[in-house]
A = this chain, B = another copy of it.
Amino acid sequence: MGEKSKPLKVALVGAGTVGSEVARLLLTQREEFARRAGREIELAGVAVRNVSKERPGIPSELLTDDTMGLVSRKDIDIVVELMGGVDETKGLIMKAIETGKSVVTGNKALLSAFGEEIFSASNKAGVDVYFEAAVAGAIPIIRPLRDSLVGDKITKVAGIVNGTTNYILDKMTTEGMEYETALKQAQELGYAEQDPTADVGGADAAAKAAILASLAFRTPVNISDVYCEGITKITQTEISAAHAANCVVKLLAMAELIDGEVHVRVHPVMLPKSHPLASIAGAYNAIMVEAEAADKLMFMGPGAGGAPTASAVVGDLVTVARNRVAGISLPVLAGFKKLPIAKMGSTRCHYQLTLDLTDEAGVLASVATTLAKHNVSVYSLEQVAVDESGDHASVGLMTHEALEDDVLACMKELRDSDYVSNNISFIRVGS
């Protein structure tokens, strides 16, 4: 057999839930993958922290704890990185690229922080970097953005890309649970980590938003460009206000191209119940894409889990293998140009404010005056509760479309006033 028909050798870095599922598929379905890739794909080594731990289905002779050694091996063609982490992992990925390996990864944190550098290096080295698993598990979203919609002009991407927070908000909405209770339940069921910060604080969704924005608008977007607000401050106040307005609260990752500027943000949003994203329940993910010609598309599926994520990884792996057999690579950065990132203050949307007002004549007029001064006009207003003493009333107020900076200025002025208690909150309203 000639050089051409040698199997492609794969180094797997990380053998957690997803990694071991990928290893299992590679070892048990060799024939099927060979048929699809046009060449045999051989699992040549698996880098793990602890080589003495037994891993069912993975022959122990494949295991090594010398990760850099495995990645640098001359006979390796493709590195599949499922180890996670950023700094150490970046070194590994750059080494793989520099030594001519193609890379498949699901590492959103890494790509949202160092994507531009990694993609430039891969472009220079003529190797592939594929990362379908980095956003929304098995849902094919990266590839439609990279390939299918390449002839269209995408104007907006909005999605539920974090199953943990979607599960928590769901429980708060459907069962009236408080945030802490819902989080605890999510942890008990394994939907949330023991340290849930990256999920509930929004960083996980922000990394995905950066990747989506970058591919949608073909411009480098770093996680530091993403405005990020998690769900930790959401209480039954916002959930009830949403319910009263026939809405639900969802944590959305959003990217919009407005007047040539990239708006990219993650925060809770009040969504009308009729919105297609409003009905995405539990740990499911869904992403809407709006494009000039294609109009509105929606992609839905399981956002996490070992098997779905492994499906995305293996799909990438087979494609990368095919590309390698064909002797090509598809640069991520093709057609990229640098676009400006808009400031969060320039966001325009409706806002739902909840204000705790002293129940006196003229108070509402003062509130209206403050809003008007900052160009914020009232769309609707409703008294939602009166406290026991009768001194205070809680008022729900929906604005017309307004500028974030103006709304923040209002909030500050209202907080500093005598007639509004500190008990004041706002949530953005989506459409």
Contact = CB atoms under 8 A, between A and B. Distances in A.
A302 B296 contact: yes
Interface stretch (A82-90, A147-155, A400-408): A147-155
B152 A148 contact: no
A297 B299 contact: yes
13 contacts: A25-B151, A36-B334, A138-B294, A138-B297, A143-B143, A143-B147, A147-B319, A149-B311, A149-B315, A150-B318, A151-B317, A293-B314, A299-B299
Interface in A93-145: 132, 137-140, 143-144
Contacts of A139: 297
Contacts of A33: 151
Nearest to A136: B297
A151 to B, nearest CB: 3
Contacts of A330: 322, 326
A367 interface: no
A296 B303 CA distance: 11
A362 interface: no
Contact of A291 (B218, B298, B311, B319): B311
Contacts of A150: 36, 314-315, 318-319
A313 B314 CA distance: 27
Contacts of A317: 151
A348 B245 CA distance: 45
Given A151-B318, A293-B307, 7 more contacts: A140-B148, A147-B315, A151-B317, A294-B312, A296-B302, A298-B300, A328-B328
Contacts of A313: 151
A430 interface: no
A38 interface: yes
Interface string A308-339: 10111111111100100011101000110100
A295 interface: yes
A288 to B, nearest CB: 9
Interface in A324-371: 326-328, 330, 334-335, 337
B152 A315 contact: yes
A308 B46 CA distance: 44
Nearest to A289: B301
A318 to B, nearest CB: 4
A69 interface: no
Interface of A: 21, 25, 32-33, 35-36, 38, 132, 137-140, 143-144, 147-152, 218, 276, 291-302, 305, 307-308, 310-319, 322, 326-328, 330, 334-335, 337
Contacts of A335: 32, 35-36
A220 to B, nearest CB: 15
Given A33-B151, A140-B140, A328-B326, A296 B301 contact: yes
Given A35-B335, A38-B334, A152 B297 contact: no
Nearest to A307: B293
Nearest to A295: B302
Contact of A294 (B151, B152, B308, B318): B308
A322 B146 CA distance: 12
Give me the 10 closest cross-chain CB pairs, A-B, nearest first: A151-B314, A293-B311, A138-B294, A140-B148, A297-B301, A36-B335, A294-B311, A140-B144, A35-B335, A298-B300
Nearest to A279: B279
B138 A293 contact: yes
Nearest to A41: B151
Contacts of A310: 293
A300 B300 contact: yes
A54 B143 CA distance: 38
Contacts of A300: 276, 297-300
A293 B140 CA distance: 13
B298 A299 contact: yes
A247 B140 CA distance: 30
